[in-house]
Amino acid sequence: MENLLEIKNLHATIDGKEILKGIDLTVKAGEVHAIMGPNGSGKSTLSNVLVGHPAYTVTEGEVYYKGKNLLEMSPEDRSHEGLFLSFQYPVEIPGVSITNFMRAAINAKRQYLELEPMNATEFLKMMREKRALVNLDSKLANRSVNEGFSGGEKKRNEIFQMAMLEPTLSILDETDSGLDIDALRIVAEGVNKLKREDTSSLVITHYQRLLDYIKPDIVHVLYNGKIVKTAGPELVMELEERGYDWIKNENKQ
Amino acid sequence: MKKKDNILKKIANKAYEFGFVSKIKTDIIDSGLNEDVIRLISKKKNEPSWLLEFRLEAYRHWLTLKMPTWAHLNIPPIDYQAISYYADPLKKSKEKNKEIDPELMKTFEKLGIPLEERLALSGTAVDAVMDSVSVKTTFKEELKEKGIIFCSMSEAVQEHPELVRQYLGTVVNYRDNFFAALNSAVFSDGSFAFIPKGVRCPRELSTYFRINAANTGQFERTLIVADDDSYVSYLEGCTAPMRDENQLHAAIVEIVVNNNAEVKYSTVQNWYPGDAEGKGGVYNFVTKRGDCRGKNSKLSWTQVETGSAITWKYPSCILRGDNSQGEFYSVALTNNYQQADTGTKMIHLGKNTRSTIISKGISAGKSQNSYRGLVRVSKNADGARNYSQCDSLLLGDKCGAHTFPYMDIHNNSAVIEHEATTSKISEDQLFYCNQRGIGTEEAIGLIVNGYAKEVLNKLPMEFAIEAQKLLSVSLEGAVG
């Protein structure tokens, strides 16, 4: 299988403080990777660095995505190339309807791919189909992006946008946080329906419960800015039983 | 970083797309202002003596006034003797009729305002004014069949002097303020519209103002009278060339609304705002006021202000008739070194009068943007209601947003509501858009248009689309 994402010795800082201290990670096309770890280990930093958040600075290392140097690409181009982040805390954009927002996003991508803008009929049809996939209420689609949404609605909206943009590599950053069990199931089912043979995911989570629905091929434990353990799905159960303390103890300097 | 700076510079320079100058032979009188100049203007326009008297009285009053300084504006001193008060781009032919220079027709075409009726896109009737003169008014004949008078002010003075005399200066008296006095003394052209009793005007009426000549001021005067049970929607657009010197535009708009009549007045103001360093641009010092004289009359102002170096403008409603209604919807956007002090006055005189104020300020760059509004309820205005909402949106941290709401309430039955918010476009919002593939400039355009939606929705369709584009264009390069 081809390497979709290759991270080599990645170091990154925010406000001068080093958070990532040498990450090595390879994701092949079609794989689902889970990244687990205690709070403050650098999970969200990793996802933000991958999508090019300007608050983070990469100080060392390389990242290749589809064989291209990811770190040289603008955040927009990373998106156009099929990289998607489901945000842990999606922001509200008052006054901008989800419909207008998605149309701008889809047409920006099409422009990048040198395609004509999508016509209105085709676009609305696509909206309907993808909405059904994640059970997103049509009323919600006419509202401003995330404005006044509940936690569950926000996360569902993220997965809806993922469905619209059909990413090659999706990063789900703590998508389970703040969700009750029903919302969690709906969101996870949406993600599973979107899974194709050639698409990959990085599922970032603190707990095991999301991974009951989204089955990972490979599980990593991130601790103190490094990946300290990599194993198969059985690692999820082990972490659930033993907690993170044994990881911490094993990695005491 | 350098590359980014260059791109921003490039954008700042191209952002104003109407900055061209047309080569048109223009009859410009010498600069300077005195009674002789006023007599000359009046003579050039072949005006009746009462109008010359009106001008002279205003001029003599103006001499006693000083420029107002209460606005939150930094206005450099203006040398009123250095301005030419009359510029006529119509070539004089040997006959009495003036011909339209083909270059002039081309100019308006370039601005997207075709002056040939067959080319009219939206079926809007247009009065096109360049510098001091109305160039052409379209669909005049068709409107005439319904009894609607729509023509230039100069023509109205010749053809309908009794109507002009009856209404001119009755809403905005020349004593009203410094710029109103100046305009009353030297006003050149503008539009005149009269909608007779019971007529619903079948077309949008519009005036397009263009400044072309250098070192001139534009002092247009518009008068709209809606008689009982009539309706009209009126649009106003404006542009000017890019010049390093500032140009003065001091207009008056007067609107009279009689019983059960309704007037909608929409403006998309895009005067040249000056360059990125604050050099040049138009001073837009305008007095706009409507008098809801009749019962159940209604006046609605909608403005999208993106242009001008300095804006001083307060479209107002006098709610004289019982049950009359006034509305003010405004989006004022300032970028670079632009300054705007704009808002409205709602003067409640009649019973059960209602007013609504929705103001959306957007400040970017190093600009200053102020909302200034007055709600006055007089002693006899029982049951008056006002709702005001003043929102400010800041882009970056070098600009300013200010709100000056005044309330002057003399009747205990009045219900007044006021809401205000200030917000910023956050880095997180922009990054969220970026992650979805939307570039930063497009994202700002999207967010700003979303923010202004409530006001843009009030504009007639074609204007709304133009305004949307304008808001995005005016903000290009606003966030580095």
pLDDT single digits (tens) B67-87: 888 889 888 888 998 888 888
Which whole number is the average pLDDT over A85-97?
93
* Whole-number pLDDT of residue A80: 97
Is the pLDDT reported for residue A72 higher than 70?
Answer: yes
* Whole-number pLDDT of residue B100: 66
- Chain B contact for A16, CB < 8 A? no
- Chain A contact for B75, CB < 8 A? no
How many CB atoms are closer than 10 A to CB B182?
Answer: 26
Identify the residue with better confidence: A119 or B108: A119
Task: Determine whether the interchain pair B439/A76 forms a contact, defined as Cβ–Cβ distance below 8 Å.
Answer: yes
* Whole-number pLDDT of residue B4: 36
Q: Which three-class secondary structure state does DSSP give residue A97?
A: strand
* Residue carrying structure tokens 């009106």: B54
SS (H, E, C) chain B: CHHHHHHHHHHHHHCCCCCCCCCCCCEECCCCCCHHHHHHHHHHCCCCHHHHHHHHHHHHHHHCCCCCCCCCCCCCCCCHHHCECCEECCECCCCCCCECCHHHHHHHHHCCCCCCHHHCCCCCEEEEEECCEEEEECCHHHHHHCCCEEEEHHHHHHHCHHHHHHHCCCCCCCCCCHHHHHHHHHCCCCEEEEECCCCECCCCEEEEEECCCCCECECCEEEEEECCCCEEEEEEEEECCCCCCEEEECCEEEEEECCCCEEEEEEEECCCCCCCCCCCEEEEEEEEEEEECCCCCEEEEEEEECCCCEEEECCEEEECCCCCEEEEEEEEEECCCCEEEEEEEEEECCCCCEEEEEEEEEECCCCEEEEEEEEEECCCCCCCEEEEEEEEEECCCCCEEEEEEEEEECCCCCEEEEEEEEEECCHHHHHHHHHCCCCHHHHHHHHHHHHHHHHHCCCCHHHHHHHHHHHHHHCCCCCC
Which residues of chain B does A55 touch, with a Cβ-Cβ cutoff of 8 Å?
Answer: 427
Identify the residue with better confidence: A169 or A2: A169
Confidence tier at B340 by pLDDT (50, 70, 90) = very high
Q: What angle do CA B182, B186, B189 make, to 5 degrees?
A: 120
Q: List the single range of A74-78, A207-211, A221-225 with lowest mean pLDDT.
A: A207-211
Alpha carbon of A83: minimum distance to chain B alpha carbons (Å): 8
Is the pLDDT reported for residue B3 higher than 50?
Answer: no
Q: Which of residues 187-246 of A touch B (CB under 8 A)?
A: none
Is the pLDDT reported for residue B453 higher than 90?
Answer: no
Q: List the single range of A25-34, B253-262, B269-278 with lowest mean pLDDT.
A: B269-278
* Whole-number pLDDT of residue A35: 95
Cα–Cα distance, B54 to B184 (Å, whole number) = 8
| Nearest-10 Cα torsion for B183, B189, B191, B194 | 80
* Whole-number pLDDT of residue A128: 92
The tens digit of pLDDT for each residue in B203-248 reads 888 888 777 666 678 888 999 999 999 999 998 886 666 667 778 8
Contact of A166 with A198, CB cutoff 8 Å: no
Identify the residue with better confidence: A137 or A102: A102
Shortest CA distance to B308 belongs to which of B14, B70, B73? B73
Which residues of chain A does B393 touch, with a Cβ-Cβ cutoff of 8 Å?
Answer: none
Nearest CA in chain A to B456: A95
What percent of chain B has a predicted confidence (pLDDT) above 70?
84
The dihedrals phi and psi of A75, each to the nearest 5 degrees, come to: -55, -40
Which residues of chain B does A91 touch, with a Cβ-Cβ cutoff of 8 Å?
Answer: 426, 428-429, 432
Q: Which of B431, B438, B451 shows the shortest C-beta gap to A108? A: B438
Query: Chain A interface, mutation test: which of B362, B435, B456, B479, most A Cβ atoms within 10 Å?
Result: B435
Give me the total of CB pairs closer than 8 Å, taking one residue from chain A and one from chain B: 74
Which whole number is the average pLDDT over A41-47?
94
Task: Determine whether the interchain pair B427/A75 forms a contact, defined as Cβ–Cβ distance below 8 Å.
Answer: no
Cα–Cα distance, A74 to A79 (Å, whole number) = 9
* Whole-number pLDDT of residue A184: 87
Q: Which of B431, B438, B450 shows the shortest C-beta gap to A105? A: B438
* Whole-number pLDDT of residue A206: 84
Alpha carbon of A62: minimum distance to chain B alpha carbons (Å): 20
Nearest CA in chain B to A85: B435
Which residues of chain A does B452 touch, with a Cβ-Cβ cutoff of 8 Å?
Answer: 95
The tens digit of pLDDT for each residue in B164-180 reads 999 999 999 999 999 99
* Whole-number pLDDT of residue A53: 95
Q: Which of residues 417-446 of B touch A (CB under 8 A)?
A: 423, 426-429, 431-439, 442, 446
b/e map of B201-219 (b: 16 or more CB within 10 Å)? Answer: bebbbbbbbbbbbeebbbb
Alpha carbon of B456: minimum distance to chain A alpha carbons (Å): 12
Task: Determine whether the interchain pair B435/A93 forms a contact, defined as Cβ–Cβ distance below 8 Å.
Answer: no
The tens digit of pLDDT for each residue in B37-63 reads 999 989 988 999 999 999 999 999 999
Query: Chain A interface, mutation test: which of B423, B438, B441, B465, most A Cβ atoms within 10 Å?
Result: B438
* Whole-number pLDDT of residue B116: 63
Is the pLDDT reported for residue A89 higher than 70?
Answer: yes
What percent of chain A has a predicted confidence (pLDDT) above 90?
65
* Size of chain A, expressed as the number of residues it contains: 253
Is the pLDDT reported for residue B283 higher than 50?
Answer: yes
Q: Which of residues 304-323 of B touch A (CB under 8 A)?
A: none
Which whole number is the average pLDDT over B80-108?
68
Is the pLDDT reported for residue B7 higher than 50?
Answer: no
Confidence tier at B10 by pLDDT (50, 70, 90) = very low
Task: Determine whether the interchain pair B431/A75 forms a contact, defined as Cβ–Cβ distance below 8 Å.
Answer: yes
Nearest CA in chain B to A54: B431
* Whole-number pLDDT of residue B9: 41
Identify the residue with better confidence: A253 or B318: B318
Mean pLDDT, chain B, rounded, equals 85
- Chain A contact for B1, CB < 8 A? no
Shortest CA distance to B309 belongs to which of B331, B288, B285? B285
* Whole-number pLDDT of residue A69: 96
Cα–Cα distance, A185 to A173 (Å, whole number) = 16
Query: Chain B interface, mutation test: which of A56, A93, A158, most B Cβ atoms within 10 Å?
Result: A93
Confidence tier at B315 by pLDDT (50, 70, 90) = very high
- Chain B contact for A100, CB < 8 A? yes
Contact of B171 with B291, CB cutoff 8 Å: yes
Which residues of chain B does A87 touch, with a Cβ-Cβ cutoff of 8 Å?
Answer: 432, 435
Alpha carbon of A204: minimum distance to chain B alpha carbons (Å): 17
Is the pLDDT reported for residue B264 higher than 90?
Answer: yes
Which residues of chain B does A161 touch, with a Cβ-Cβ cutoff of 8 Å?
Answer: 436
Which whole number is the average pLDDT over A80-98?
94
Is the overall model pTM greater than 0.90, yes or no?
Answer: no
Is the pLDDT reported for residue B33 higher than 60?
Answer: yes
- Chain B contact for A104, CB < 8 A? yes
Query: Chain A interface, mutation test: which of B360, B429, B432, B465, most A Cβ atoms within 10 Å?
Result: B432
Task: Determine whether the interchain pair B427/A54 forms a contact, defined as Cβ–Cβ distance below 8 Å.
Answer: yes
Query: Which range, A122-131, B24-33, B108-117, B254-263, has the best average confidence (pLDDT)?
Result: B254-263
* Whole-number pLDDT of residue B141: 81
Helices (H), chain A: 43-51, 75-80, 98-112, 120-133, 138-141, 151-165, 181-194, 234-242, 245-250
* Whole-number pLDDT of residue A106: 96
Cα–Cα distance, A124 to A133 (Å, whole number) = 14
Q: List the single range of A196-210, B105-119, B333-347, B385-399 with lowest mean pLDDT.
A: B105-119
The tens digit of pLDDT for each residue in A170-205 reads 999 998 887 888 888 888 888 888 888 899 999 999
Go through the domains of chain A in sequence order and give each one's CATH number.
3-250 (3.40.50.300)
* Whole-number pLDDT of residue B294: 95
Task: Determine whether the interchain pair A91/B432 forms a contact, defined as Cβ–Cβ distance below 8 Å.
Answer: yes
What percent of chain B has a predicted confidence (pLDDT) above 90?
48
Cα–Cα distance, A198 to A170 (Å, whole number) = 12
Q: Which of A76, A97, A112 shows the shortest C-beta gap to B434? A: A76
